[in-house]
Amino acid sequence: MNDITNMTALDQSQAIAEGQLSAAELMQATLSQIEKTNPAVNAIVSLSAADELMAQARAADATPRKGWMHGLPLAVKDLANAKGLPTSMGNPMFAGAIAPKDDLVVARMRAAGAIIIGKTNTPEWGLGSHTFNPVHGATHNPYDLSRSAGGSSGGAAAALAARMVSVADGSDMMGSLRNPGAWNNVYGFRPTYGRVPSETEGDTFLHQLATLGPMARTPRDLAALLDVQSGADPRQPHGARYDLTLPGIDTPVTGRRIGWLGDWGGAFAMEAGLLEHSEAGLVELEALGLTVERLAPPFAAEAIWESWTTLRSWAIAGGLAAFYADPAKRDQLKPEAIWEIERGLALSALDVHRASVIRSQWFMACARLFERYDALVLPTTQLYPFPVEWVYPQEIAGQGMDSYHRWMQIVTPVGLLGLPCINIPLQMGPKGLPAGLSLFGPRDSDPALMQLGQSWHQAYRYAENRPALA
């Protein structure tokens, strides 16, 4: 293990600021760790040339400090544009396509001093919580190379777990920051919708399901990166005032009330042992001085699913329908993308309206819960990491999965409403496989959730249980 790459991002930053570590030394250690671990994991793709990256690191050592990320190597999820690097989105049509400019969130991280070294792997178009694609292949779980790393930010989470990077960016529509966080024993944070703006391409008013966000091995690093990514874009309608998350992260959480939703009254099929594994984490939450109460399902899970799948297919069709309309390009879309697009194209305006009414009703029901509870908690996933060669699980506990994403239904109550949510790593489960709990709160409760994550991390340093290959 390279001691430098096992440091937290903020510790690396402080060491560089105090002259105890140079950006060049950190870059060399990072490249050595990638050379050691990435061939087996396949988390980082499109890595820039070593001599070019070393030159950038030496330049960082010779220039004034830009921000807390000054000199820190960062690999960007391969759905986002980083100037001069390919943005394949996991699709052959875009393999090797070089981005002419940074996306806004990438520009913010670069402005804070990050050195962009390459990209992290993702499923094609980011569709599906299992990271594999025809351009870069599959990402393997560092804790068990025969298993999935999750997705769609699976490359980012696996790179973190394998100590190739100390922080990572990602995005989350259907658990894509939370599922891989749980499966790679790291923290993933889905921010309040609008806090971290996406690009201004296409519609910026209607589609409110996906957001960008951070991943890290500690909540302090998670909060620091979120604060860099955050900030309204005046060109977009949904940004709002927000509070920074790092300054108050050590605020005591004793006395806060948490509502446990479990498997939603049996609505969410769970792999044997995972629910009990998750419930053991409730005892640990209570030991932090929290009050945890078990709740009956507050809303019909199938209604949430109906609303979610309608709005998701509508959004995906809006983004990909032009490719579907061209027969040559349609042939290069994976079956799950075609299925989503065709569902979206078949929707009427009233279908979308009805889905939005359900979303509105669930939002109101959730708001009533937050009058009594500071946060709600669910298992992050419905099963442990599955074999990497699978496309998706066909069944859980004998219950058939009727779509490529039904096995992640448990994330939809949060994503449908654009609520903030943090995955916290649990103690390792059976066969040494990771799992997590998802704590979520009302809009703009991002700082409070970071505080819960920090309290958890201070007491239970499960994220420090690193994989053997690292």
Which burial class, exposed, middle or buried, applies to 164 when counting CB atoms under 10 A from its CB (0-12, 13-18, 19+)?
Answer: buried
* Catalytic hit among 176, 278, 438, 445: 176
- Round to whole Å and give the CA distance between 307 and 416: 8
* Catalytic hit among 48, 152, 278, 455: 152
Q: What is the dihedral of CA 398, 403, 404, 406, to 10 degrees?
A: -60
Q: Which residues of 22-59 are buried (b: 16+ CB within 10 A; e: fewer)?
A: bbbbbbbbbbebbebbbeebbbbbbbbeeeebeebbee
Is 46 noted as a catalytic residue in this protein? Answer: no
Distances from the Cα of 88 to the Cα of 116, 134, 172, 174, 205, angstroms: 16, 10, 18, 20, 26
Is 198 noted as a catalytic residue in this protein? Answer: no
* Catalytic hit among 13, 46, 48, 77: 77
- Round to whole Å and give the CA distance between 295 and 365: 13
Is 83 noted as a catalytic residue in this protein? Answer: no
Q: How many residues does the chain have?
A: 470
Under a CB-based contact definition with an 8 Å cutoff, are residues 121 and 127 in contact?
Answer: no
Q: What is the dihedral of CA 283, 288, 289, 295, to 10 degrees?
A: -40
Report H helices in 76-218: 104-111, 154-161, 179-183
SS3 419: coil
Catalytic amino acids?
Answer: 77, 152, 176
